[in-house]
Amino acid sequence: MKSLIIGFFSFFYQANLNHENMQGTGFAYLIRKAARLKGMELEVKKVYEQTSYFHTHPYLVNFIVGMWVREFEQNGEEDFHKKIYSSAFGALGDSFFWHSLRPLCFATAAIAGFYNPFAGIISYLVLYNLFHLSFRFTGFRIGYSLGRDVITFFNRIRFNKWATYFDIGSSLMLGILLSYMAKSSADFNSVLLGTLTVYIMLGMALAKKLDIVLGLTMIIITTGFFLYITGV
């Protein structure tokens, strides 16, 4: 229950995002709420210290909050581990949620949208939030349970590999999407397929959402196979 409450409060975590201390104010806000849920009242000075520069991925911050409270309870080195994990989780979160999950959700929604536009919207929201909310609402419980060893959770689920797996999945889905677009065109030809491929890959590359070489290779293979078996 406490993890769900902190998960809810974390929606306001970036409310005071700024260039001076980035998310420091939000982090101080979260640890104060979390400490109270654990029956502790932090000194004003201690809370103020946490408003210093802090920046990590917003979906993974609750893991650090849980770790911080656990270490504080046990007179550990909460601020030392906070600095280490803020960088690590920032990189991991950006790589997976921004770089890999969003393209997969887009491709899935686009394919579903061929059948029903409403289904496309719903599929994107469900798929994206399945991951987003799972991490947001379980982070505090896992972080508090593992303390300074919270990284073992991410090692256990091989989270650093998820971005690669989802990139491959995105490429396959984009290949299928191109195939559907080609099949639905009355004037289909190889130039149309090539143009569609170039535009999609260029957009993804500029947005830094997908590895251009891996993506192009997988899309060409998937599209060619799909068109071959359908006789287009």
Residue 171 reports pLDDT greater than 90: no
54 φ/ψ angles, rounded to the nearest 5 degrees: -155, 135
Whether residue 146 is predicted with pLDDT greater than 90 in this model: the reply is: yes
- Stretch among 69-73, 109-113, 197-201 having the lowest mean pLDDT: 197-201
| Other Cβ atoms within 10 Å of 175 Cβ, number | 25
Q: Is 190 left (phi over 0), alpha (psi -120 to 50) or beta?
A: alpha
Alpha-carbon distance of 67 to 60, in angstroms, equals 12
Of 65-69, 120-124, 168-172, 223-227, the one with minimum mean pLDDT is 223-227
Give the tens place of pLDDT for each residue, 8-38.
Answer: 999 999 998 898 899 999 999 999 999 999 8
Q: Are 25 and 33 in contact (CB under 8 A)?
A: no
More confident residue, 130 or 16: 130
CB atoms within 10 A of CB 191: 9
Distance CA(205)–CA(170), nearest Å, equals 13
Q: What's the per-residue H, E or C state across the chain?
A: CHHHHHHHHHHHCCCCCECCCECHHHHHHHHHHHHHHCCCCCCHHHHHHCCCCECCCCCCHHHHHHHHHHHHHCCCCHHHHHHHHHHHHHHHHHHHHHHHHHHHHHHHHHHHHHHCHHHHHHHHHHHHHHHHHHHHHHHHHHHHHHHHHCHHHHHHCCHHHHHHHHHHHHHHHHHHHHHHHHHCCCCCCHHHHHHHHHHHHHHHHHCCCCCHHHHHHHHHHHHHHHHHHHCC
Q: Does the structure show a pLDDT above 90 at 204?
A: no
Please determine, for residue 198, whether its predicted confidence score (pLDDT) is greater than 80. Answer: no
What is the pLDDT at residue 219?
66
- In the structure encoding, which two tokens stand for residue 17, read together? 């995002």
Mean pLDDT of the chain: 84
Residue 186: predicted pLDDT: 53
Tell me how far apart the alpha carbons of residues 181 and 196 are, in angstroms, rounded to a whole number: 9
- The residue with greater pLDDT, 105 or 225, is 105
Q: Looking at the predicted structure, is the pLDDT value of residue 192 above 90?
A: no
Q: Are 136 and 10 in contact (CB under 8 A)?
A: yes
Indicate if the pLDDT at residue 122 is higher than 90. Answer: yes
Tens digits of residue pLDDT in 51-88: 999 999 999 999 999 999 999 999 888 888 999 999 99
Of residues 114 and 42, more confidence is placed in 42
Q: What is the pLDDT of residue 86?
A: 93
What integer pLDDT is reported at residue 113 of this predicted model? 84
| Mean local confidence (pLDDT), 159-188 | 77
Higher pLDDT, 163 or 203: 163
Contact assessment for residue 140 and residue 62, using Cβ atoms and an 8 Å cutoff: yes
| Selected residue with higher pLDDT from 3 and 216 | 3
pTM for the full model?
0.80
Query: pLDDT per residue over 43-52, tens digit each?
Result: 898 999 999 9
In the chain, the percentage of residues whose pLDDT exceeds 90 is: 47
